[in-house]
Chain A
Amino acid sequence: MNLENRNENNITRRHALKIGLAGTAGLSMLDSNMLAKASQQIKPATAVKAKAKSIIQIWMWGGPSHIDTFDPKPEAGYDYCGPLNKAIETNVKGIRINASLPLLAKQADKYSILRGMTHGINGHETASYLVQTGHKQGRILFPCIGAVVSALKGYDRGYKGLIPPYIVLTQPQGRFSEAGFLGMKYKPFSTGGDPNKNPFIVEGIVAKGISDKRQLSRRELLHKLDTLGKATPNNHLLKKLEACEENAYELMYGDAKKLFDLSTEKDKVRNDYGRNTFGQSCLMARRLVENGVPYVTINYKGWDTHKQHFQSMNRKLPEMDKAMAMLLQDLSDRGLLNSTIVWWGGEFGRGPKVQWKPPWNGGRSHYGKCFTSVVAGGGFKGGQVVGASNENGTEVAERPVYPPNLLGSMYELMGIDPEGQMPNNAGLNVKVLPDTQKGKGRLKEIM
């Protein structure tokens, strides 16, 4: 959560930005060579020119099947495709995706498909960590890309928005601590609530049934009854609490409340995104980046389909297709796609071969060896396919993309040099993300 310390940071900035990051904790057992040594200082991380201002991460919680979405294998037969055995042409000649995504097929000019994603890990936690931080499990817990962006593009670096710079719609992922060694200050603000409900109750910002007048009088009461505060007027923690209160009321009454009010959108727009939690989350994400929020994650649950896989896909794919296609169209219509990266993907793909036998009865397992991610906008070219899997989607056949390659490309577009130093007050001398040039490197072919 990054609402913290806004007031303080303003002061800090005025005082010539002495402090790096104010997060604490997160590491203990680090290698001594990672300790800051003055002689080995790495250059600052924000030396690159930015093409993108924001990232919308559609996090396919649990791992989506690549075969059933953007890497169809109709020739591989029933054992691999089940009932989703058709591919369709897209609006880009030569690119076909699964027929389950007809609306996204009409947007293919806007995105690029990475069919050679690989890391070989099949455990949710370890894979989630790797895909979102770029690091294998080690002795230091690293921050995920959202927290890095929040540290390097947030309040410490001139972001002045009222809305926190790293938002999660609607629940945190819970797999690992997003901020890693950066500490609590760089955790995301998760909205809670459901954007498909009216009103969208954003925990803390939008409350039900308390009139503005009553808010005002009870706040006054709070101040009148502040007996301890009056007895210890100089305590730094109590002063900090007062600053937080100021910020909190600013959020409750300022533009933040309006921003989260989806009822101000036209019905047609809301319907085009789909009247469901994911659809309205995409709409909310668009509103957030429109307002300058640099990182938005939509945690889209329900893709860990060990059983009843195809029943789930029949329910979920149309919903995803509609919302994501509309998001791309809408961002493009509003001129936001050039500056907004949309990143679709999960921690891994799903087993290419369907498990028809009990206890799975038509399920797909975890599959980290070969899977697909999709990127659009913010400097990524559209209408491209990068890499390929083999004939039945079990192995990478061309241009493997490792998680650091993809994350490094996004960092570069966001104006963050992956080779630059990750500021922290944990005493670590570490790069934002090493190894982004591993294998065939960052995604130069589509940047």
Chain B
Amino acid sequence: MKNACKLLLITVLLLASTFAFPAWGQASNLYEKPGPFVPFNSIDEHVLAKLKEHNIKPANLCSDAVFVRRVYLDVIGILPDGPEVREFLRDTSKNKRAKLIDKLLARDEFAEYWSLKWSDILRIKAEYPIKLWPNAVQAYHRWIYECLRENKPYEKIAREMLTSSGSNFRVPQVNFYRAVQQKNPSSIASAIALTFMGTRLEKWPEDKRKNLEVFFSRVAYKTTAEWKEEIVYLDPSATESINATLPDGKKVQIKPGQDPRQVFADWLVSPDNPYFAQAIVNRIWFWLMGRGIVQEPDDIRKDNLPCNPELLAFLEKELVKSKYDLKHIYKLILNSRTYQQSSIPQSNSKEIESLFACYPIRQLDAEVLVDALCKITGTKESYQSPIPEPFTYVPEEHRSINLADGSITSQFLEMFGRPSRDSGLLTERNNTPSDSQRLHMLNSTHIQKKIEQGPKLRNMVKIGNRKPNLLIEMLYLNILSRKPTAEETRIVKEYFKTKGINRGQAINDIIWALINSKEFLFKH
């Protein structure tokens, strides 16, 4: 296996060396493809209409190199490696971007990465203050993963979470009712409003809040003889019928023996529900485009209007029409020219980001970043949790994206803004740069060790030892997912001549400079 990889690498490299360096003379050609804005699908028509209203010129289409890196990071949370980048750049077919999108959406890593995002908003953690406990965390996370992998209709996912009863170990989705800070109707109602309706219950009028709580007033919990097993069930002693009011004001009577949660779920996932589809398409848009059409995406309310109502309505309709096929929404967005714009704006307007006139530059998620560092260098991270007993050790082969438990963390992940999963709010994930992050990347033993000892890097250095051009190109392809410009190659070669720094040190410094570059640390 190892040898095969090596062979492949060498073949690719040999092929590479037969190509001359393209003329990446100007930065603009490196990152974008100038040309008129031609809509790729309806999303673009809606976005463009809004931009025209505001007299804002959208950004150019991004270059292929930018696209390949971006779409890997956005769809599967993984940095493409050198051969993957090269394969895409060499592909001359017209629909190669769409092909790559389909390929990535079909990978298991798609489900892995999006399980992480869902675990954030569902607050999946074993410890304080959510206290799901490790076994339940694993079961719940696995369930989410399976749902996403088989692309289960979203309507079905929601219904299963809302209406299931049983053991937290054996019926994983009942953990929805346990992943709250207090197991009472008001806490549950908050979680439901936030997760499925994209709204914050505390901003609802009191009577409306109370009305929602009624549907969850019969949820009960009991323990079993098994350590930390908990059964979520409906209180069987409560049999009288209930007069309840749904969030849209409609009155319903819940008959004896009927599960009030079922009544709520029926209402929630019906095609004309005003909250359900809107909340999820807006969230997916936020995840891919860095900003919601309603922003914040989990604070939808009458006085927080969408910046582009037509766009939002279009996506909602598409979701319902596709029978709640989440991947359909991903595909629409990813294939739009709006998503495929360059991050270099063509306008000075303050609204370029809020109206989607360019792809927003964003720092990598903590887990994605550390996985990328591991991938480039061929190193691993180890995670463990000494609380509670028995201790949890995560196999080193696991990527950090796959950490199921929000309580299992590292200083790196915390520092780079991994959410604590206390509230389920999207803002818990904080991707803004900080001094401590900068210190860590620039000067920590953690990063230094990866650079100096990473076996994959060492291998590259060995292969490219006598061919500086080749080495530089390999480093650029693997770290920045593109080839170096002539100017960059010149600068790097010049660095080899720095007095007092030997060749090995120079190579490490070049790697250091690349992984500390904005282009590496940010999605662009």
Contacts and interface: CB of A to CB of B under 8 A. Distances in A.
A366 to B, nearest CB: 13
Given A226-B518, A231-B344, A241-B521, A32 B439 contact: no
Interface in B499-517: 500-501, 505, 509-510, 512-514, 516-517
Interface string B438-449: 111011111010
Contact of B423 (A25, A124, A175, A207): A25
Contact of A232 (B344, B348, B363): B344
B491 A221 contact: yes
Interface stretch (A48-56, A69-77, A186-194, A268-276): A186-194
Given A28-B194, A125-B128, A172-B414, A1 B516 contact: no
A24 B343 CA distance: 25
Contact of A227 (B202, B415, B435, B519): B519
A132 to B, nearest CB: 12
B143 interface: no
B491 A30 contact: no
Interface residues of A, number: 74
B438 A227 contact: no
A198 to B, nearest CB: 15
B411 A26 contact: no
Contacts of B446: 203
A45 to B, nearest CB: 23
Interface string A210-236: 110111011001101111111110110
Given A1-B415, A138-B182, A225-B517, A177 B422 contact: yes
Contact of B181 (A29, A125, A174, A252): A29
A91 interface: no
B430 interface: yes
A248 interface: yes
Nearest to B206: A32
Contact of A237 (B28, B129, B433): B433
A218 B202 contact: no
Given A28-B190, A176-B128, A214-B509, A244 B434 contact: yes
Interface string A123-151: 01110010000000111010000000000
Nearest to B490: A224
Contact of B438 (A31, A32, A210, A248): A248
Interface in A25-64: 25-32, 35
Nearest to B296: A24
B432 interface: yes
A164 B434 CA distance: 12
B128 A126 contact: yes
B439 A252 contact: yes
Contacts of B31: 228, 231
A211 B500 CA distance: 10
A138 B434 CA distance: 30
B128 A138 contact: no
A183 B418 CA distance: 11
Contacts of B187: 29, 139
B438 A244 contact: yes
B424 A28 contact: yes
A249 B424 CA distance: 35
A103 interface: no
Contact of B443 (A204, A226, A227, A238): A204
B402 interface: no
Nearest to A233: B344
A241 B518 contact: yes
Interface string A320-350: 0000000000000000000000000000000
A77 to B, nearest CB: 31
Contacts of B171: none
B429 to A, nearest CB: 8
Contacts of A177: 420, 422
B439 to A, nearest CB: 3
Contacts of B194: 28
B387 A174 contact: yes
A244 B387 contact: no
Interface stretch (A3-11, A110-118, A355-363, A387-395): A3-11
A203 B444 contact: yes
A208 interface: yes
Interface in B456-495: 485, 488, 491-492, 495
Contact of B411 (A27, A172, A213): A172
B244 interface: no
Given A29-B187, A29-B201, A137-B129, A184 B491 contact: no
B425 interface: yes
Given A25-B419, A213-B500, A232-B361, 5 more contacts: A125-B127, A139-B182, A177-B422, A237-B363, A247-B438
11 contacts: A26-B422, A29-B190, A138-B182, A184-B414, A208-B448, A217-B498, A221-B510, A221-B513, A227-B27, A237-B363, A238-B518
Interface of A: 1, 3-6, 24-32, 35, 124-126, 129, 137-139, 141, 164, 172, 174-177, 183-185, 187, 189-190, 192, 201, 203-205, 207-211, 213-215, 217-218, 221-222, 224-232, 234-235, 237-238, 240-241, 244-245, 247-249, 251-252
Closest CB pairs A-B (n = 7): A204-B439, A3-B435, A125-B128, A28-B423, A25-B428, A177-B420, A29-B190
Interface of B: 27-28, 30-31, 127-129, 131, 180-182, 186-187, 190-191, 194, 200-203, 206, 209, 343-345, 348, 361-363, 387, 409, 411, 414-415, 417, 419-420, 422-425, 427-430, 432-440, 442-446, 448, 485, 488, 491-492, 495, 498, 500-501, 505, 509-510, 512-514, 516-519, 521-522, 524
